[in-house]
Structure 1
Amino acid sequence: MKTPICERLGCEVPIFAFTHCRDVVVEVTKAGGFGVLGAVTHSPEQLERELKWIDEHVGGRPYGVDVLIPVVYDREAEASTEEVIDLIPAEQRQFVDKLLDAEGVPPLSADDAAEARRELIGRGRNTTPLGARRLIDVALRHPQVKLVVSALGAPPKELVDELHGRGILVGSLCGKAEHAKAQRAVGVDIIVAQGTEAGGHTGQIATMVLVPQVVDVAGPDIAVLAAGGISRGRQIAAAFALGAQGVWTGTIWLGTRESELTPMEKEVLFKAKSEDAVQRKWMTGKTVRMIRSKASEAWEQPGAPRHLKPPLQNILYHGARIRIEKAHRDDLCSFPAGQVVGNMKEETSVRQVMQDLMQEYIDTAERISPLINL
């Protein structure tokens, strides 16, 4: 299963695991894959602690960090500090409060509200270019970070050049071949062709269609990773057939015992069908595939307010999520997940997922080998 990108990054198999959980990063990487920590949920101080812990537990192996560098965002919010929450318009704030009140979700206590405010300020800052830069600066202090990925399109060329100067590869996610052209122009090393099946920020083009389009645009010097709907070894084999050098996975790690999901969220995950992973703007103001809930669907009804730009919509969503979690309301619980949720029915481990992926890939390769030799 080893491909050229494995040689460049120093991993054994080209299974990339995007996760917000340090334990998943470590376990995937120790199993031969390449863990990538989503940094947007961490303050710079928290990220420093997480990366230090990963350094201490990953056995000297390389890993990556993923950040959000949005092109469209609320510039006034970026310039603010604690006032950022107060920039959320009354219409959107009242809409969420009315929804949760009608559902019987209690307001936060004074202490919980103060803690939530501090958390929301940090999350909001991280979804602006300046916030992303702060997180990247933290990552640069850790020599085992060998890959930085931009989750929202082409990173600035000056950043790509800076990271290359430090011996770090640069990746970027795309949902259209046109996006890949812009990413190639700034000099990225890896393009993640993320089909609409994926959880998180996605476009409208399916993985089977998107990957060969991006491979053709990328050319021989840029590694393409297939993303969206990857949860089986046979899908890894298909990705190779489409021209990808590896796969970028995310949702499959949410159901592991190492993941960051709460017990309530895992219950929601295991109950969900593939059709329950829908595209909504409730979380960030941009299209995100997430688990359908009463809260996500309320924003789709006539009379609902417009969605806000990042980071304001992010702050609104996470404030509601804190109330929902404390009330243990699984019917209101929404979080990013891809269509592969339909395959996930019970908790497993990272190591077991890795073993299953590789074994099914081997079985698939053996099964189709006679067809190739015809």
Structure 2
Amino acid sequence: MRTEICERLGIEFPLFAFTHCRDVAAAVSNAGGLGVLGAVGFSAEELEVELAWLDAHVHGVYGVDLVIPSKYEGQGMDGLTPQELEAELAQLVPQGHRDFAEKLLTEHGVPQLPDGEHHSELLGWTATTAAPQLAAILRHPKAKLVANALGTPPPDVVAQVQDSGRLIGALCGSVKHALNHKAAGLDFVVCQGTEGGGHCGEVSSLVLWPQVVDAVGEVPVLAAGGIANGRQVAAALAMGAQGAWTGSLWLTVEEANVPPAQMRTYLDATSHDTVRSRSWTGKPCRMLRNEWTDAWERADTPDPLPMPLQMMVALDGVKRGHRYPEAAKDVNFNPVGQVVGLLNRVERSAEVVARLVEEYVAACDRLGKLNG
């Protein structure tokens, strides 16, 4: 099960866990995989705190995931500070969109955030706001891997990461995107099928993985989209991937920073309950379908705005939903893949890593017997 990318990172298993929870990232890294902390949603100062905590609690190494879209509103506004860029973009958000979002939250009884609890509407989501996050990452030697969630990273980002001795890669949902990553000299490609949670394309994992592996040649491919057990890991490696990139799987572990009401929503969901929607981030993103996603799809309601403007509309709902999950259960942001239908019990993160390895070995043994 040990692949080339394991050797380069010094990890035991090619199991990568994307998560917004530092406890999960640390637990997976300490169990032999690689925890990857999602940076979007953290200011640079907050990310510094998270990474310092990981440095103190991870025995080996970990990764960090940035969000620098290849196309977004405000692209090219060079020279602006993050605060200036946010102010410029805020002027592009129609008041009607803000009013519609507030109406949805109010109708469902989701309370306002406490007075004085200010939060930026633009955390990550642009090259300008990601730059301070990257600077924080480069101050932490244990952060050995950087991934970009949306498109090929800018050349200066690639150079900074590689010059520091780290690996940099990016997610893709098509062969075209994978070839762009290869041409940019990235160290690995995360190939995510449409089943995957969060931002995804339209092609299924089983079809996409081997196409991307063949297209990028020697560039290591990490398979993503619908992986929750060792049999699926074995299938990914059999198709030429060098590892499994997992995300939804870590929403239902014991260490996850997921409120109980939201956790129950995930545990009760089936694979038929997800939808690709632009209603939260402005780009197609797979999540649980609910009254928020349905409302933005109706013909008589506003169309979702491009990234990052739609998230500037929706971020208040994200914050209020996290603080008041019981009230927001029908309008909460629940990014998750179709694999949610397999997530029906709570496990500890280390137990999940061990289970994936055991199931992988069993699957390989079964194939070995079939092959005589």
Under TM normalisation by the shorter chain, which class is it? Answer: over 0.9
Instruction: Give the secondary structure class of the aligned counterpart of 1:279.
Output: strand
Q: 1:31 to 1:303 in 2, by over 3 A?
A: same
| Distance change in 2, residues 1:86/1:257 (3 Å) | farther
Give yes or no for contact 2:169–2:189 (8 Å, CA) kept in 1: yes
Q: Are positions 1:245 and 2:242 aligned together?
A: yes
Map residues 336-355 of structure 1 onto 2, 5 A cutoff.
336-355=335-354
- How far has the Cα of 1:247 moved from its partner? 0.4
8 Å CA contact retained: 2:41, 2:123: no
Q: Which residue of 1 aligns with 2:202?
A: 204
- In structure 2, the partner of 1:104 is 109
Matches for 1:93-132 after TM superposition, within 5 Å: 93-109=98-114, 111=115, 114-115=116-117, 118-121=118-121, 124-132=122-130
Give CA deviations for 1:55-101 in whole Å, capped at 9, x if unaligned. 01112x11111001112222179643457545421111111122223
Aligned to 2:344, what secondary structure does the other structure show?
coil
Aligned residue number for residue 185 of structure 1? 183
Partner of 2:147: 149
SS in 2 for 1:361: helix
CA RMSD of aligned residues (A): 1.7
TM-score normalised to structure 2 length: 0.94
Which of 70, 89, 105 is equivalent to 2:94? 89
Q: Does 1:297 align with 2:288?
A: no
1:264-290 deviation digits (Å, cap 9, x = unpaired): 110111111111121111110000001
Q: Which residue is 2:20 aligned to?
A: 20
The percentage of counterpart residues that share the same residue type is: 44
Aligned residue number for residue 267 of structure 2: 270
Structure-1-length-normalised TM-score: 0.93
Q: Which amino acid aligns with 1:65?
A: V
Rounded to whole Å, the distance in 2 between the matches of 1:58 and 1:327 is 30
Partner of 1:357: 356
Equivalent residue number for residue 224 of structure 1: 221
Q: What's the CA shift string for 1:155-189, capped at 9, x where partnerless?
A: 12232122211111111100000111110000011
Deviations 1:312-354 (A, max 9, x none): 2112222123334426221222321011111112221101111
Do the aligned residues in 1 keep the contact of 2:70 with 2:153 (CA within 8 Å)?
A: no
**Range that drifts further, 16-25 or 332-341:** 332-341
Partner SS, residue 119 of structure 1: coil
Rate the CA distance shift 1:106–1:193 in 2: closer, same or farther, 3 A: same
Specify the SS of the correspondent of 1:282. coil
Structure 2 partner of 1:176: 174
1:316 aligns with 2:321: no
Q: Aligned partners of 2:112, 2:251: CA distance in 1, in Å?
A: 28
- How many equivalent residue pairs? 364
Q: Gaps spanning 5+ residues in structure 2: where? A: none
CA distance in 2, matches of 1:170, 1:372: 37
Paired letter, 1:23: D
3-state SS, counterpart of residue 316 of structure 1: helix
The equivalent residue for 2:51 is: 51
- Please give the alpha-carbon distance, in whole angstroms, between the structure 2 residues aligned to 1:85 and 1:326: 26
Q: Which moved more, 1:195-204 or 1:95-104?
A: 95-104
Check if 1:282 corresponds to 2:287. no
Contact kept? 1:125, 1:311, Cα under 8 Å: no
* Inter-partner Cα distance in structure 2 for 1:58 and 1:104: 40
Q: Which moved more, 1:99-108 or 1:200-209?
A: 99-108
Question: SS of the counterpart of 1:161?
Answer: helix
- Give yes or no for contact 2:70–2:152 (8 Å, CA) kept in 1: no
Task: Call closer, same or farther: CA 1:321–1:165 in 2, change over 3 Å.
Answer: closer
- Give the distance between the partners of 1:231 and 1:327, measured in 2 at CA: 25
Deviation at 1:41, TM superposition (A): 1.5
Unaligned residue ranges in structure 1 (runs of 5+): none
Equivalent pair of 1:120/1:319 in contact (CA under 8 Å): no
Q: Which amino acid aligns with 2:204?
A: A
